[in-house]
Amino acid sequence: MNFEFTGEQLMIQQAARDYAQRELIQDVIERDTHSIYPERHVKALAELGFMGMMVSPEYDGSGMDTVSYVLAMEELSKVDASTSVIMSVNNSLVCYGIEEFGTAEQKEKYLRPLARGEKMGAFLLSEPEAGSDATSQKTTAEDKGDYYLLNGTKNWITNGNTAKTYLVIAQTHPEKGHRGINVLLVDRNSPGISVGPHEDKMGMRSSDTHSVMFTDVIVPKENRIGEDGFGFKFAMKTLEGGRIGIAAQALGLASGALERSVKYALERKTFGKEIAKHQAIAFKLAEMAVKVENARHLCLKAAWLKDQGKPYGYASAMAKYYAAETAMEVTTQAVQIHGGYGYVKEYHVERMMRDAKLTQIYEGTSEIQQIVISRELLHLH
């Protein structure tokens, strides 16, 4: 048992912290208020190597481990979860999916620019009637011999407009149910693709969320990842890792809110003393700290298992579930500790509370994580 990070992991954590605290913080409130995509920061983070952190250097990635990824995600999410979700989707869904399951040609063409961060990727699974129930895909990829003909609508797509590469999950053989689903690499500029308006969200307001519509989009056969019918398995495998990214994001929201609360509680005075010296606040902070530390341990355990090549689906579901619930609880308490100041934008915690809500919903709702955890626990699969 060793709880020490390596020198490199600490350096990555510090680099992410420095970037977040010096740069990302600067216009975060304005970006949130006006739903402004953090273009400058995405570019800068790409130049630092954060957009393809875990991709092998062979494909222009940074070759870092999942533990480093968790550390970086936490630090960036302490300041701006809208930016960190862009990084999370590109890293742990799109780059991971292509690197793990793609062919050498697919990696050469699609992975390399994604790993360099020159292009962003998007993962298109959710549909108007298929969110948590990913088996009910209505989008079709009709087999036309040399190519697939793609038709349908995808919802809630992070990087939906800015991405240049889409990973689209679609049904080819409806009679086979989830075993008939495929995953296709689709160029954003292909004829027949239209992107809906930017979603006006409660939180994560500056991430780029859209619906994407496909009308008779031709996708070459060589753009299918894996065997015919591999799509559902691909999505589930990829989401297992994706959960670690979102869990680390939720952790960052919680730990960032805790840090802000500690600082505020040591400065703000009521009844002649700092509010931190009132037991009602001190105990609240203690409770928050324990939960943040628990969430951190779960995230790092899942990341460590993945780095060791061991099964991590159970651990990543636990990390995602617990960190998301903790993020919601801790950010809500942070607003409470800040009182009236917590309810205005200037003090950041209200934004963190709105952002935290989404971590309970996307990349598998908390209830879906409970299904994953309980099925594993009860051997029901």
Partner 1 sequence: MNIIVCISNVPDTTTRIKYKPGNKDVDYTGVQWIINPWDELALTRAIELKEAGTVKKITVITVAKADAEPTIRKALASGADEAIRVDASPVDAWNTALNLAEALKNEQFDLVICGVESSDYNNWSVGGMLAEMLRIPSVSAVTSLQIENSKPIITREVDGGRQQVSIKLPGLLIVQKGIAIVPRIPSMRGIMSARTKPLKVVTGVSGESLIEIVDYEAPPQKSSCKIIDSENLEMLAELLHTEARVI
Nearer Cβ to partner 1, position 15 or 213?
A: 15
Pick the piece of the chain touching partner 1 (CB under 8 A) from 19-27, 122-130, 304-312, 314-322: 19-27
Residue ranges of the alpha helices (H) in the chain? 7-19, 28-34, 39-48, 66-77, 81-88, 96-101, 104-106, 112-116, 231-267, 279-307, 313-338, 349-359, 366-377
For residue 229, the Cα-to-chain-centroid distance in whole angstroms is 25
Sketch the per residue contact string, 329 through 368, with partner 1: x for CB under 8 A, - otherwise.
Answer: ----------------------------------------
Position of tokens 């969200």? 201
Query: CB count, 10 Å around CB of 90?
Result: 32
C-beta of 120: minimal distance to partner 1 in Å? 18
> Which residues have CB under 8 Å from 158's CB, separation 6+?
85, 86, 89, 122, 123, 207, 208, 209, 362
Nearer Cβ to partner 1, position 260 or 320?
A: 260
**175, 222, 363, 376: the active-site residue:** 363
Helix (H, G, I), strand (E, B) or coil at 195: strand
Cα 187 from Cα 222, distance rounded (Å): 13
Pick the piece of the chain touching partner 1 (CB under 8 A) from 18-26, 101-109, 232-240, 358-366: 18-26
First to last CA, the chain: 31
Residues within window 292-331 making contact with partner 1, judged by CB under 8 A: none
For residue 271, the Cα-to-chain-centroid distance in whole angstroms is 42
The per-type count for the chain, helices as H runs and strands as E runs, is 13, 9
C-beta of 290: minimal distance to partner 1 in Å? 19
**Where on the phi/psi map is residue 271: left (φ > 0), alpha (ψ -120 to 50), or beta?**
left
C-beta of 169: minimal distance to partner 1 in Å? 30
Question: Number of residues in contact with partner 1, rule: CB under 8 A?
Answer: 21
C-beta of 41: minimal distance to partner 1 in Å? 12
Query: Is 227 among the catalytic positions?
Result: no
C-beta of 28: minimal distance to partner 1 in Å? 17
Q: Under a CB-based contact definition with an 8 Å cutoff, are residues 206 and 30 in contact?
A: no
Q: What is the largest CA-CA distance in the chain?
A: 78
Pick the piece of the chain touching partner 1 (CB under 8 A) from 9-17, 90-98, 288-296, 346-354: 9-17
Q: Under a CB-based contact definition with an 8 Å cutoff, are residues 32 and 345 in contact?
A: yes
Pick the piece of the chain touching partner 1 (CB under 8 A) from 16-24, 136-144, 175-183, 345-353: 16-24
For residue 11, state whether it binds partner 1 (rule: CB under 8 A): yes
For residue 114, state whether it binds partner 1 (rule: CB under 8 A): no
Nearer Cβ to partner 1, position 44 or 218?
A: 44
Residues within window 247-286 making contact with partner 1, judged by CB under 8 A: 269
Cα 26 from Cα 19, distance rounded (Å): 10
Crossing angle for the helix pair 231-267 and 81-88, nearest 10 degrees?
Answer: 160
For residue 229, state whether it binds partner 1 (rule: CB under 8 A): no
Sketch the per residue contact string, 30 through 59, with partner 1: x for CB under 8 A, - otherwise.
Answer: -----------------xxxx--x---x--
C-beta of 23: minimal distance to partner 1 in Å? 8
Q: Under a CB-based contact definition with an 8 Å cutoff, are residues 128 and 196 in contact?
A: no
Q: Under a CB-based contact definition with an 8 Å cutoff, are residues 77 and 252 in contact?
A: yes
Pick the piece of the chain touching partner 1 (CB under 8 A) from 12-20, 186-194, 199-207, 294-302: 12-20
Nearer Cβ to partner 1, position 47 or 58?
A: 47
Residues within window 62-81 making contact with partner 1, judged by CB under 8 A: 62-64
Nearer Cβ to partner 1, position 21 or 308?
A: 21
Nearer Cβ to partner 1, position 10 or 202?
A: 10
Query: Is beta strand 269-270 parallel, antiparallel or unpaired with respect to 273-274?
Result: antiparallel
Which residues are marked as active site?
363
Residues that bind partner 1 (CB under 8 A): 7-8, 10-12, 14-15, 18-19, 22-23, 47-50, 53, 57, 62-64, 269
